[in-house]
A and B are shown apart, each in its own frame.
Chain A
Amino acid sequence: GESVGLHLPTLSVQEGDNSIINCAYSNSASDYFIWYKQESGKGPQFIIDIRSNMDKRQGQRVTVLLNKTVKHLSLQIAATQPGDSAVYFCAENPPNAGNMLTFGGGTRLMVKP
């Protein structure tokens, strides 16, 4: 069935480096995508979203890239900090699903000091 998945379950980066977290989605008709950050023992926190009519969107230290040709979504974090250590989830809004999101399995980002 349609699904959202992640290439790497765990990503370890050095503090100060840039991080790239990837997500593959299979429903080419999905029109809305979101990245969430979840710290231990807390609920997921919205980071950034992007609609299918865009290829790139930037926030503070974060950038989301959407490649509809290969159905790929990525989250780039610039100058990664220890506070960025968390699990990151991508989510998509498939067509005919109303406002419900399909979540990927998550990638754990570990930042080494």
Chain B
Amino acid sequence: SQTIHQWPATLVQPVGSPLSLECTVEGTSNPNLYWYRQAAGRGLQLLFYSVGIGQISSEVPQNLSASRPQDRQFILSSKKLLLSDSGFYLCAGEGQSNSPLHFGNGTRLTVT
């Protein structure tokens, strides 16, 4: 079965600092991978998705970027964080068409 690993679990960063969140996948090759953001008490907003190495699609314009340097690695980055980048970031993956997304346990980012 597929397992999604995310780290760190929590992160506090000052405004203007860089960001790098990493997500790795076990149990599936060539998965579709996704980055979501969840504001407190709200639903999930899709930020990026990737269907393969080096292939990134962005859903919303923002201060963030994503990269997929390896098949099972998906990275969320920012060069300069904004206060509005605070939130709960979730990585998700799926191995087959119309199979459920599996989520990691998320990273709680607080920008101060």
Contact = CB atoms under 8 A, between A and B. Distances in A.
Nearest to B94: A99
A93 interface: yes
Contact of B44 (A44, A45, A93): A44
A32 B98 contact: yes
B46 A41 contact: no
B43 A43 contact: no
A41 B108 contact: yes
A103 B43 contact: yes
A100 B46 contact: yes
B103 A45 contact: yes
B100 A43 contact: no
A103 B37 CA distance: 12
A39 to B, nearest CB: 10
B interface residue count range (under 10 / 10 to 19 / 20 to 34 / 35 or more): 20 to 34
Interface in A63-100: 89, 91, 93, 98-100
Q: Label chain B's interface by main secondary structure.
A: strand
Interface residues of A, number: 23
Contacts of A91: 101
Contact of B98 (A43, A45, A99, A105): A99
Interface in B76-105: 90, 92, 94, 97-105
B100 A89 contact: no
B24 interface: no
Contact of B103 (A32, A43, A51, A104): A43
Nearest to B106: A43
Interface string A19-38: 00000000000011010100
B42 A46 contact: no
A34 B44 CA distance: 14
A106 B42 contact: yes
A94 to B, nearest CB: 12
Interface of A: 31-32, 34, 36, 41-46, 49, 51, 89, 91, 93, 98-101, 103-106
